Every structure is written in structure tokens, then in C-alpha cells.
Chain A
Amino acid sequence: MGFGKRFRQLRLDRNMSVREVASKAGMDFTLLSKMELEMRPPPEIHFIFALVDALEIEDAKKLEEIMEELVTLATESHESAGQRLTEEQLQKFRCSESARVFMRLKPKGKREGGKSK
């Protein structure tokens, strides 16, 4: 399963539409739609962060797993298309703390201005 199909599966599991997710991720919905059906290559890594963020996954561990899976799939896809992600982009994800900061993966209480319990 490629990036597009997997992302579509994740989106459908959450009963979200292409347009909802694209809007939350700040992405063009027609592009996302084509990406899901693998008519376009997966997006750049920062867009993957934004797309996964748009799925609104609450469980941080699950979120990290999904992120890793999607980045791997995207990387494979780019490799097969001869457009490998740069080492710098991959490093950005591998450095989990950076990824957490980027994706606001801090504990829920500290997200969005600190709604702590």
C-alpha cells in the first residue's frame, strides 16, 4: 500500500472528507485527492506533518506511529519515483523532539496555549 491509499484509509477511518482534511492542512483539496489516488507523488515532509495533524489523532503514541509509517511510505514512493527526500528532511523527522515541536505533540495539556487539567 502506498502513501496515498494509506492516508485515504486513515482519513476514512475518521470519517473526514478530503476537503475537510485539506482545509485543515492548508492544502489544495484537488491535490490531496489526486495524491490519495496516487496520481500525484506524496507531498513534502512538512505537508505530511500538516496532513497528519489535520486528522486530529489524540493519542500521541499512535500519532507518532502513523507519522513514521507515512513518512516511510512517502520516502519509498519518492525513491521509486527517483525523487528521494533529502537527508535534511529525513533528519527533521528522525529527530523526534523536532517532530514533536513541529506537530505540537506535547502532552495534551500543554497544547494550544496550555489547557492543563
Chain B
Amino acid sequence: MRNPYSGKDWWRRVRLPQIEGLASEQIMRYESRVCKIDTPWIPVDKFVENLWKYELLYDDPQRHGAAPGALAVLRPDLQLVVVSDHPADRARLEWNAAHEGAHIVVHVPPANEPSQGSLSFGNEIEAGTGERAVYCRDRACGFLDGPEQPYMYREAEYFAGCLLMPRERYEPLAKMRLIEALEECMSRGRIGLQDIESSERLRSAVYTQAVELAVGRMAEADLNGSVSKQAQKIRLSGGELGLIRETGETEQASAFGVYMRKSYEFSGHLVVLASRELDLDFSPEWRGTELTLR
């Protein structure tokens, strides 16, 4: 496989769980180098211009080499990001820009990257330094090489979701909504703490309902208009941000197993499956509140 951004047969490989870290790092860099973020959303358009030093153009991406139907295109050769000039809303524009930003951060080789000649293709030989080390990319990504989407696309989608909904900003909110929803579900069903502690089945059912309720409330009340539906799908429908704790999975699956489910509509069934691995956190802060609901 050839890297379309460098034209070379090797890739800078970023370990998949590092993608969220890279997104988080971009926010920290922006705040330290440019300015503090004072908007309820992450201003990705400013990231493109002020942090990544690309030009941002709102135009028809097809005029700039994009495939028909594409809503954005990256032109590393021109240091240019083109985002469709016919978007539905601001959040969607941010999403499109964030997706292209992912390619800038994760996939476009920096100018000082060593040449292909110094690498031994097929082996993961470090040719750079630190996290941004260059590795020869083979097909080790496995299931990410699905026929319907190239894995670079999925990496970019995941990065965009993490950038637009950073854990530091949204996990406390998600947990608060989840606790509220758990209390509500238990109250509705007249279920007490002892009941759910003694029955795994009941615990899963309550938790499933609560996660669904919390996700719905966040989408409607907290994120509507400020965060794109695409980012919400990745971060909320995927059960991230502390809603579902992934345990015992491989490194790849923990990063993308959740995301792979994004194509499905959020359903209780999926959460029930996931909740079997949950470490339910009945913390003292809300245990007392819950007991009053019996």
C-alpha cells in the first residue's frame, strides 16, 4: 500500500490507542501556543490555521481533487484544507475540518522524516525518535483493513471524535448524566441497591437503560448544536467517556472495537453485551442518594 500523502510505501505508524492521546495533545498545544479555548466547542478551524499552519478554504472539494461526494479534502502539497461550502451547520463544518486535521497530525509525514532508503520494509524498525517514530507499515492492522473503508479513514474519524469531544471536557459530564440516569431508572423500577448488587441480569438491564438515557440527554440537552452528530456517535454511542469500561480486550480492539459499533444504531443489546464487562462504580457520592429512592 502506498501512502497517498507522501507517495511512499511506508507509513508513520501511530499505535491506535495513541490516537486519543494525539488529539488531546493538539488541544494542549493549541492552548499553550495559541490561546485558551473559550468556546463551548473545539475551534477546529483555528487549529487548522493557527496550529497546523494550513490554509483553510471553503469551496467545493471536487475542484481540488476530492472524490465525488467528499465533503473535505487535504492537500499537503499546498498546505491546504478544503472544506465543502455547502454544509448543514457549524458543527458539521468542524467535523469535516477535524477529519482532515487527523490526516495532518496522524498521517502526513513531517518534512524531516527519513527517506524510505533507511527503512526495512515489512519490519517495525524505528527510524525516528519518540512517539512520532517512523515504522514500516505492513498489514498488521487486521480488521481495520475492512473492504468498505480504508483504515486511514477510520483512524481519522476516531481522531476527529476525540478532538471534538475531549475526555477531559466531556467525561465528567457523561458521568454526571449517567448517575442521574441510573438514579432515575432505579427509581422508576423501584429497584434498590441490594437488588442490582445481587443480580447481574438486573444490573445489566438497569445499566443499559441508564446509558441509553444518559446518552440521549447529553445529545439533546448538552451537545445539541455544539458538537457534531458524527463525534457524538463515536464518543457516546460507542460508550466511551466512561459510559462503558472496556476491559480484557486487545489493544486494537479497545481503541476501535467500540468505534466499529458506530455503524449500528445505539441499542440496548450492544450495551448489555458490553456491560457484562463493566466495573460498576457505586461511589459513595451517589450511593446515599440512591438509597433514598427505595
Contacts and interface: CB of A to CB of B under 8 A. Distances in A.
Interface of A: 8, 12, 15, 17-19, 29-30, 33-34, 37, 39
B59 A33 contact: yes
A39 B90 CA distance: 23
Contacts of A30: 58-59, 85
Nearest to B43: A17
Contacts of B46: 15, 17
A29 B43 contact: no
Contacts of A29: 58
Interface string B26-43: 000000001100000001
Interface residues of B, number: 15
A17 B45 contact: yes
Given A15-B34, A15-B35, A19-B90, A33 B49 contact: no
Interface in B56-90: 56-59, 85, 90
A38 B90 CA distance: 24
B75 to A, nearest CB: 12
- Shortest beta-carbon contacts, A-B, top 9: A30-B85, A30-B58, A33-B58, A17-B45, A33-B57, A17-B46, A37-B57, A15-B35, A12-B49
Contacts of B90: 19
Nearest to A34: B59
B258 to A, nearest CB: 31
B59 A39 contact: yes
B36 to A, nearest CB: 11
Tell me the interface secondary structure of chain B in the complex. mixed
B57 A12 contact: no
Nearest to B53: A12
Contacts of A8: 55
B252 interface: no
A21 B49 CA distance: 14
A37 B55 contact: yes
Nearest to A17: B45
A15 B50 contact: yes
Given A12-B50, A30-B85, A18 B56 contact: yes
Contacts of A37: 55, 57
A30 B57 CA distance: 8
A72 B46 CA distance: 28
Contacts of A19: 45, 90, 93
